[in-house]
Chains A and B, each alone.
Chain A
């Protein structure tokens, strides 16, 4: 009896510690890597120009991750965002080389993203097919389209006006950061401040109950897919402008990284659920890690291994948060 009482007393602080770790674990991890990089390479890492670069580099990932956050709030995912971003870059570049009006070319590219999202959404929410299979398939198809349009080659020679989107600055702040902030505010407003966001979360929480509460589950889910496609296309346009070229596979790495960012975000703020502030934090986490490892001159291939590991860790952490609540 006394032995079991003693062990229970020991258990209590442990439980407390675990709860603390759950709530602040991701944040702690973030501080840890920042501290590590700051300690190892103080001058290169803490330099304000470097920190601005971190944000700038993260901005494209952020755009994709924010729209992905909305889709994941509805309980679905989109594997095609990366190859769709490539495709939209290829399309905008091709149109510009054919001397199409700049705004028209961008609009056409965004419209393509919208359509692609609508295709994913229609197949998933109206025909009830698996989001994983469908977006895996459209991912492959979009990739094929990009390769076919470019013959596998990179498109160069884009007009200078177009390059201001990805490379220009306002004051000393790069334009992509403004675009990222715009998308973030829009997505946050939609998800947190509107009836639409409430309903998206409701669908993600319990589709059947949402339907029986008078929510048009199919249409709203379709809308989230359309948003994710449009966001991916926008990211593709910014990416193409930033690189001053369109490569048929340029957007691919963003798919996995955006999942990592959203999953990391699910461990904080609205615990266990996709949310915009959390995703922003997740994007920063990924950005700082990338930047720091680059400064440390870690092999870029190893960085890919780390991205995978982070996804596993964050999914584990968010599961812990959800089950122990």
Chain B
């Protein structure tokens, strides 16, 4: 049996592998964390970071691989196992019970301090909780439900919880995503004090400047594999991005042919959901990328245009004529189609077959009098689409639940293409899809644009936005803050715009 090679290594993951149907999310990953270090974990969306963290949290069971903590092998079958081992996880939506207050959350999952007769000793509980919060050099009200606290305060509660169980490793997944700069700086101070106590931190973030500010070592993941682990001071931002992206962008994305044509969709001063006064024009044959952080209003924009939500003001012109889109049904009949963000919960009827899913949005065109189904005509159209999109299914009557993720997403695409749309709205169309299939989607998207379809592409993957878009609309807190040309900017500039900063 191997033991830990270095006494400084406190956590070691070896040969970790996790398969999902059609995708190897994590592929034979080795990862270790030293005592008192901040180890950054970076990679594009879908690179496998979150899966690796969830395996460590006991939430996902790996298909292969072993984990050691302090030289002892860990078997993580549930979140409880990870908690007992002294692993702590900080994630903006994870871990806290919104209806309980800060003190109760800090002591969640463990026996509360008690008086005689087993009654909870509330004053001791609050006293201990206050002491833990004080160690973080901050103030958080402990007697209100955490749902009412700011994201920064909730993060502090999570860290206090980690301290209280004397966690040896704390994993933070995008901890600064909803923090202000000031709050983020305070978090960094707290992280440095954790280091001094010998606590190790696994730090997952997309924000490169943070990684250089806080981490001692950095591990880069790509397509489920670790491509590099090195001391942070030995690497620069350009190299880090090259490792994350791992390919020459101009080769990966299909070339643009033809020029965008006449204005197809004009959006003027659109209000509603989170959106405030968004205006832009989408042209025929154009791929208009929509960039922005989570919560910037990207999905909301698509839903408004698709009639899934109602705008509270502004106007929409389709081919020069003002339109109202009261429902998705109306959207489809006007030639506006949506590939929604969540494949399983929004895109597919998992209980039904490939064919039934593909024809669902335009069923009336496959029926006599719009009512009596013509399964022959349906099968013909479905087969054509299955071939055109290379959907791998045993037959068109196979339940769509049995297909791989990439093929399922192709079915969602096929549904939108069953009657060629004028405008295609894509919300994270390649999320959770393996790289090979991603490029198939890129080819399909460019092909549709060449045929004159106007495409609005929402994606969190900056490289995808830069590689595919003819122009880029940037949303920040519900407003359109910039219209950019991908050829004139790089990822960092785009990211800066997403954060609402205008680089000089």
- Where the two chains meet, the residues of A that have a C-beta atom closer than 8 Å to any C-beta of B are 193-196, 198-199, 201-202, 204-206, 208-216, 272-273, 325
Verify A213–B328 contact, CB threshold 8 A.
yes
Closest 7 CB pairs of A and B: A205-B349, A214-B329, A205-B351, A214-B332, A195-B363, A213-B360, A213-B361
Q: Which residue of A lies closest to B363 (CB)?
A: A195
Q: Which residues of chain A are near B366, meaning CB under 8 Å?
A: 195
**Interface hits, B349-363 → A, CB 8 Å:** 349-352, 356, 359-361, 363
Given contacts A209-B345, A209-B349, A210-B349, contact A195 B328 (CB under 8 A): no
- Whether, in the assembled complex, B224 has its beta carbon less than 8 Å from a beta carbon of chain A, the answer is no
Q: Are the C-beta atoms of B350 and A206 separated by less than 8 Å?
A: yes
User: Apart from A212-B338, A214-B333, what are 10 other A-B pairs with CB-CB below 8 Å?
Assistant: A195-B367, A195-B373, A206-B351, A208-B345, A211-B328, A212-B328, A213-B361, A214-B331, A272-B351, A325-B399
A208 to B338, CA, bound (A): 13
CB distance from A192 to the nearest CB of B (A): 8
CB neighbours (8 Å) of B367 from chain A are: 194-195
Whether a CB of chain A sits under 8 angstroms from the CB of B327 is: yes
Q: Tell which of A193, A202, A216 touches B329, judged by Cβ atoms closer than 8 Å.
A: A216
Contact B352 A205 (CB under 8 A): yes
Show 24 A/B contacts (Cβ-Cβ < 8 Å), sorted by A: A194-B373, A195-B363, A195-B370, A195-B371, A196-B371, A201-B349, A201-B352, A202-B360, A205-B349, A205-B351, A206-B345, A209-B345, A209-B346, A209-B348, A211-B328, A212-B306, A214-B327, A214-B331, A214-B332, A214-B333, A215-B329, A215-B360, A216-B327, A325-B399
Q: B302-341 vs A: 1/0 string, CB under 8 Å?
A: 0000101000000000000000000111011100001010
Measured CB to CB, the closest approach of chain A to B367, in angstroms, equals 5
Question: Whole-angstrom distance from the CB of B96 to the nearest CB of chain A?
Answer: 27
State the CA gap A213–B350 with chains docked (Å).
14
Residues on B with beta carbons closer than 8 Å to the beta carbon of A202: 349, 352, 356, 360
Least CB distance from A320 to B in Å reads 16
Residue B372 CB within 8 A of the other chain:
yes
Distance in Å from the Cβ of A262 to the closest Cβ of chain B?
Answer: 16
A183–B459 CA distance with the chains assembled, in angstroms: 50
Q: With A and B bound together, what is the CA distance between A212 and B303 in angstroms?
A: 9
Please indicate the chain B residues that have their CB under 8 angstroms from the CB of A199 in the complex.
360, 363
| A193 contact set on B, CB distance < 8 A | 372-373
Main secondary structure of the interface of A (DSSP, over half): helix
Across-interface contacts of A194 in B (CB, < 8 A): 367, 371-373
User: Does B145 count as interface, using CB distance less than 8 angstroms?
Assistant: no
The A-contacting residues of B in range 365-422, CB under 8 angstroms, are 366-367, 370-373, 399, 401, 415
Q: Which residues of A contact B399 (CB under 8 A)?
A: 325
A212 to B309, CA, bound (A): 11
Question: Which residues on A sit within 8 Å (CB–CB) of B349?
Answer: 201-202, 205-206, 209-210
Q: Is B254 an interface residue (CB 8 A)?
A: no
Are A198 and B360 touching (Cβ within 8 A)? yes
Inside 8 A of A204's CB, which chain B residues have their CB? 351
Minimal beta-carbon separation of A148 from chain B (angstroms): 41
Q: CA–CA, A325 to B402, complex, Å?
A: 9
Is B486 among interface residues, defined by CB-CB distance under 8 A?
Answer: no
Within the complex, the shortest CB–CB distance from A273 to chain B, in Å, comes to 6
From A195, A209, A213, A273, give the contact of B364 (CB < 8 A).
Answer: A195
A250 CB, min distance to chain B CBs, angstroms:
36
Of B347, B351, B363, which contacts A273 at CB under 8 A?
B351
**Complex alpha-carbon distance, A119 and B324, angstroms:** 31
- Chain B contacts for A208, CB-based, 8 A: 345-346
Residue of A whose beta carbon sits closest to that of B339 = A212
On chain B, the residues within 8 Å of A213 by CB distance are 328, 332, 360-361, 415
- Is A214 a contact of B350 with CB atoms below 8 Å? no
Q: Are A211 and B308 interface neighbours, CB within 8 A? A: yes
Known A-B contacts A212-B347, A273-B351; the reply to A198 vs B356 at CB < 8 A is yes
CB distance from A1 to the nearest CB of B (A): 17
- For B378, the closest partner residue in chain A by CB is A198
Which residue of chain B has the shortest Cβ distance to A210 in the bound complex? B349
Q: Which residues of A are found within 8 Å of B329, using beta-carbon distances?
A: 214-216
With a cutoff of 8 Å between Cβ atoms, the chain B residues found around residue A205 in the complex are: 349-352
Q: Which residues of B contact A206 (CB under 8 A)?
A: 345, 348-351
Query: Within the assembled complex, what's the spacing in Å between the Cα atoms of A198 and B360?
Result: 8
Chain A residue with Cβ nearest B338: A212
Q: Which residue of A lies closest to B342 (CB)?
A: A208
| Complex-state Cα separation, A62 to B348, whole angstroms | 32
With a cutoff of 8 Å between Cβ atoms, the chain A residues found around residue B346 in the complex are: 208-209, 212
Please report the C-alpha to C-alpha distance between residue A272 and residue B352 in the assembled complex, in whole angstroms: 11
**Distance between A201 CB and nearest chain B CB, rounded to angstroms:** 6
Contacts of B333 in A (CB 8 A): 214
Identity of the chain B residue whose Cβ is nearest the Cβ of A201 in the assembled complex = B352
Bound complex: CA of A198 vs CA of B364, how far in Å?
Answer: 11
Complex Cα spacing A199 to B399, Å: 16
Of residues 131 to 170 in B, which have CB atoms within 8 Å of A's CB atoms?
none
A205 to B357, CA, bound (A): 11
A37 to chain B, nearest CB (A): 35
> Given the complex of chains A and B, what is the CA–CA distance between A274 and B399 in angstroms?
16
Bound Cα distance A28, B347 (Å): 38
- Residue pair A198, B328 in contact (C-beta under 8 Å): no
Shortest beta-carbon distance, A275 to chain B, in Å? 12
Chain A residue at smallest Cβ distance from B337: A214
Chain B nearest CB from A218 CB (Å) reads 11
- B364: A residues at CB distance < 8 A: 195
Name the residue among B328, B349, B356 with the largest chain A CB count within 10 angstroms: B349
Bound-complex Cα distance A272 to B349 (A): 14
Cα–Cα, bound, A237→B368 (Å): 34
Contacts of A210 in B (CB 8 A): 349, 360
Contacts of B415 in A (CB 8 A): 213
Which residue of B347, B348, B361 is within 8 Å of A214 (Cβ)?
B361
